[in-house]
Structure 1
Amino acid sequence: MTETSSSASTPPSWPVQPGYREDLFRGTAEYYSRYRPAYPQPLFEDLLSRSGGGGLLVDLACGTGEIAIPLHERFTHVQAVDLEPDMIEVGRTKAVEVGADNIAWSIGRAEDLAVTEPAQLVTIGNAFHRLDRPLIAERASQWLAPGSCLAIFGSSTPWSGTESWQAVTVDVVARWSGESGRQAGASSATAASGDPAQRTHEDILREAGFVDVAEYRFATPHTWTMDEFIGFMWSTSYTAPIRESPSLTEGFERDLRAQLRECEPSGYLRESIAHYYILGRKPDA
């Protein structure tokens, strides 16, 4: 089922200059590729019905190809960029496996990407809050052909969920990471500053001149096995402080499994994942 909202229904975005570490996802590419729930096909079809296909797709902070690969057949060619070399390596391998030979992969900052022809669509998956949002919105507007679109993808996490096992997960991660439930990777000063720059993604797009800004949501039932959910957690920024301390990883995983098993004796963790995209259209010339 699709829900549409023209107001800011997603949580407020993190600061414009969030201070996220550039190595925050180092070592997570295999977990990211294997355990991140895929964006549902109805979301992609809905997006394409509004944005159109063909021409150039630019996928920023592309991860292991969660957007670029499913959409590659709908565009003449794709530019995919990510800061983490391991993500690009895994993405290239996945693309070869499915014959997606029209994707040009590159390692680097999304803010530094060079796009030399008008784009039909620019996408960002679960990463806009970690980028220089006003700059990216401005660059996307420059890259896009008139009337074309920028789409910001996202999905809910245990930190935004209401299931009892999600609350258990948040508590265990906070206890082992020392993050106290705060968004991982942001500096303490930034996270606590109350910076007025904590504007929504929709605000940023409108300020950059995009029109018809709206969010489209796709609630998707999902059931995790215990192993799948643990793998997903290792793919997130929240567990970065734990991943970086080998002495902590085994104890954390054992503790999380035990707490989750106590909460859900069946070993199956059920939720409704809120996949969404926020669309903004560059005005016609």
Structure 2
Amino acid sequence: MESGDPIDRQEVSVADSLGCGTGQLTVPLARHVTEALGVDPEPEMLVEAANRARGSNVTNVAWARGSSEDLPGEFGRFKVVTMGRSFHWMDRERVLTAWQRAVEDLQPRFLPHEALPSPGPASSGESHESLLARSPFPNVHRVIHEFTREWTVDRIVGYLYSTSLPLRRLLGDRRAAFEQEVAATLLAIEPSGRFIEPVALEVHTATRG
């Protein structure tokens, strides 16, 4: 995201601008880091961005074709990722939860198609409060608890086995290979093996009128 706070060059070595367009954010950012990468799905945008960098005598920025759909991808690891006007065009939850998506994408490689979880029923888009207000329980009290949850590779694998999908039985003798692939995928995203997930737990208490 864009921020008005200055970037400390000593702390930031590599920065990425996702959905960089013509480099209007990437080029100024590059002056404050040792290396920068601009990523955009449109080749014409990248050409204009490269021209902007040359015109500004900025030489520490590279350009790559790609989009949020390519995450986590092979772009590398970054201390700062910026998204200006591009963020609203993206699948925002997917962008911010790359490791969860990567694990989900692994399952079709190891499980038969008919065993994969099917999408849940379509939502009407109506809020919980609105639906409850016209139910026999119209008095609704809503509380949001915000906290962070830390995951490790072992905890993520354990969670996968704890869901309603009978993963152990379905994997059979491919279980070890699956676990190794999950671990390798997660460590490629975050070599420390520690993942911090921001959680907003929304609690609705509904009572009779």
TM-score, normalised relative to structure 2: 0.44
Which structure: larger Rg?
Answer: 2
* Higher RCO (Cα < 8 Å, 6 or more apart): 1
TM-score, normalised relative to structure 1: 0.34
